[in-house]
A and B are shown apart, each in its own frame.
Chain A
Amino acid sequence: MTIRQTVAISNPNGFHMRPMAAFVETANRFPCGVTVTRPGKDPVNGKSMLGLLGLNAPQGTELVIEITGPRAAEALQALVLIFQRNFDEEPEATR
């Protein structure tokens, strides 16, 4: 089974290295395949930092997370949460 969800990048720093590392760590906790696609570009391996580093997703862009295999729904929920929590960073305005 393959499931996918689109997430919006609202963080002013874009999808940067610290949340990428959190994404890879989370993705690797699950036995399923994870890809991330910036619309119009090739999908990258969501379990690899080098893959995610190639995304170049600044604030205002969208990414499609696609999961295939066992525990897909659980994995998707955990990965989407990283974006919904704005990478656990405060909005710049309140700093």
Chain B
Amino acid sequence: MRMSEFIIREAISANLAATQKEDVIREMVENLRVAGYFKGGDSEDVVKAILKRELLSSTGIGDGVAIPHAKHSSVERLVGAVAISPKGVPFDSVDNDPVYVLIMLISPQERPSEHLRALEGVSRCLKDKNFVRSLRQATTPQQIWDLISNHERGA
């Protein structure tokens, strides 16, 4: 699945304000809430679900990238957010390095295959080191969206 099929354009952040793992997750969920996903109390529940998953093992996969995720019944299809932290966030990553690029995925319950197809799409983009470098240098959500859609078009 292409990233542009599940990343919510209005929930992209080029400059995360938060500097700690939990706050970053909360800020990204809030971006999705503002974009029209999750109702009032649901967003805190989503944050808790993501933090619970992080306790099992960090989704910081190394090279400055993290893919925090959870299943939650408040979404009817898989939705994602992208955020860049120019300063980097400690994320208990496998390589112990801070995280600069975050891709958040919230899946409906009982649809695991969609999650795996989304991860494949994320992998296809992030394997390209130039793409990741450009992403980290982006200063506006529009630039991030353009980078994703251009990459998927093979431009």
Contact = CB atoms under 8 A, between A and B. Distances in A.
A43 to B, nearest CB: 14
B94 A21 contact: yes
Interface in B91-133: 94, 112-113, 115-117, 119-120, 122-124, 126-127
B59 interface: yes
Interface string A16-37: 1110011011000000000000
A49 B63 CA distance: 10
B94 A14 contact: no
Interface residues of B, number: 21
B61 A21 contact: yes
Interface stretch (A55-63, A64-72, A73-81): A55-63
- The main secondary structure of chain B at its interface with chain A is helix
A49 B60 CA distance: 10
A51 B119 CA distance: 11
Interface residues on A, range: 20 to 34
The residue in B63, B69, B115 that gathers the most chain A C-beta atoms within 10 A of its C-beta is: B115
A18 B94 CA distance: 12
B120 A53 contact: yes
Nearest to B124: A54
A55 B69 CA distance: 18
B116 A50 contact: no
Contacts of B124: 54
B116 A14 contact: yes
Given A21-B61, A49-B61, A50-B123, A16 B116 contact: yes
28 contacts: A14-B112, A16-B115, A17-B69, A18-B56, A18-B57, A21-B57, A21-B61, A21-B94, A22-B57, A24-B94, A25-B94, A49-B62, A49-B94, A50-B61, A50-B127, A51-B127, A53-B122, A53-B123, A54-B119, A54-B120, A54-B124, A54-B127, A56-B117, A56-B119, A56-B120, A58-B112, A58-B113, A58-B116
